[in-house]
Amino acid sequence: MTQPIPKEKFKIVGVDEKKSERLADKSVSFWKEVWIRFSHNKLAVVGMIVIAIIALMAIFAPMLSPYKYDEILGRFNEAPSAKNWFGTDDLGRDVFTRIWYGARISLFIGLAAAVIDLIIGVAWGSIAGLVGGKVDDIMMRIADVLTAVPYLLVVIILLVVLQPGLLPMIIALSITGWVNMARIVRGEVLSIKNQEYVLAARTLGASTGHLIMRHLVPNALGAIIVTMTLTIPNAIFTESFLSYIGLGVPQPQASWGTMASDGNNAIDTAPWRLIFPAIFISLTIFAFNAVGDGLRDALDPKLRK
């Protein structure tokens, strides 16, 4: 009778079990891997820190300031000092308080416009890409017509008709701003909808809404996040430009654009009135663009190791 060979006599050749276990322990999820790659991008991390600081200051600085944004102090066009860190304007109002109050308005308009673009663009692009055929042709021709009209012209006309204000500004920025999001989502959906798991869900009778919400949008999330991140600075810049030419929020409210417009008239006598809003407009746009570029690189599947 053949005797069984003891396990001790067997030896695994070419594989180190301890190393294999260590490699298995190092496996990470997709989003954790994205965060690791994003954190290696120093410029993107700096951009995120800048956005966080500006957002926190916009929330808390006006509460901590001893002055109100529309309070007339009786000190006209005074240079930055211990009493007024960013100086005062021609009406004697504290520029520091108005900067951070203006940050609330500028950031809110940018975020609101981006969220509306996200909702409309994702819905439009998903339906067009998934359904296809004549529906896709009609929906994308509508998008083409909106793209053919200059974006700023549409926004300016709408603001002239609706009158300047916070809500009209958001509506004007969103009326055609969703087209770029729709195009990107449609492209992602076209590349995803023929995957096996989507075809399997269709075979099992999944509805269009179920396919979009459970399969298509989650797998296109990377492109959606990057596009939204880059939409916010575009909306902030457009709002600043429109406010600069007098189509922004009405006085005594302030956004960075209206403050820059007012400061431009006193560039020789009170340059700080233009310098501070210009700095924060530039910093915010730079920060969002840096974060968007970092996310785009981190979510790129070609860069995965």
Helix count (H) and strand count (E) of the chain?
A: 14, 0
pLDDT band, very low/low/confident/very high, at 147 (cuts 50, 70, 90): confident
Give pLDDT tens digits for 212-246: 777 777 777 778 888 888 888 888 888 888 888 87
Q: Are 241 and 173 in contact (CB under 8 A)?
A: no
Q: Which tens digits make up the pLDDT trace of 149-192? A: 887 888 888 887 877 778 888 888 888 888 888 888 888 888 88
pLDDT, residue 46, reads 92
pLDDT given at position 18: 57
Q: Residues 50-76: pLDDT tens digits?
A: 999 999 988 887 777 888 877 787 778
Neighbours of 13 (CB within 10 A): 5
Which amino acid is located at 185 in the chain? V
pLDDT given for residue 49 in this prediction: 93
pLDDT tens-digit readout, 108-118: 888 898 899 88
Q: Give the pLDDT of residue 50.
A: 92
pLDDT of residue 302: 55
What's the number of CA atoms in the CB half-sphere (13 Å) around residue 140? 18
Q: Which two tokens stand for residue 174?
A: 């969103």
Instruction: Specify the 3-state DSSP secondary structure of 251.
Output: coil
The tokens describing 6, both together, are 């003891």
Assigned CATH topology for domain 41-67+87-303: MetI-like fold (1.10.3720)
- Report pLDDT for 21: 54
Mean pLDDT of the chain: 81
Of residues 195, 197, 186, 194, the one with CA closest to residue 223: 186
pLDDT per position as a tens digit, 248-284? 777 777 888 888 888 887 788 888 888 888 899 999 9
Q: What letter would DSSP give residue 142?
A: H
Burial class of residue 253 in the structure, from the number of CB atoms within 10 Å of its CB (0-12 exposed, 13-18 middle, 19+ buried) = middle
Q: How much is the pLDDT for 90? A: 80
d(CA 304, CA 160): 49
Residue 53: per-residue pLDDT: 92
Lowest mean pLDDT among 28-32, 117-121, 294-298: 28-32
The answer to whether residues 109 and 171 touch, using CB atoms and an 8 Å cutoff, is: no
CB 256 within 8 Å of CB 106? yes
For residue 211, the model assigns a pLDDT of 78
Residue extents of the structural domains in the chain: 41-67+87-303
> What is the C-alpha to C-alpha distance for residues 259 and 266, in angstroms, rounded to an integer?
11
Cβ-Cβ contacts under 8 Å for 116 (sequence gap 6 or more): 170, 174, 177, 178
Q: Which among 148, 150, 147, 114 has a CA at the least distance from the CA of 239? A: 114
Residue 23 has pLDDT above 70, yes or no: no
Dihedral class, residue 75 (left if φ above 0, else alpha if ψ from -120 to 50, else beta): beta
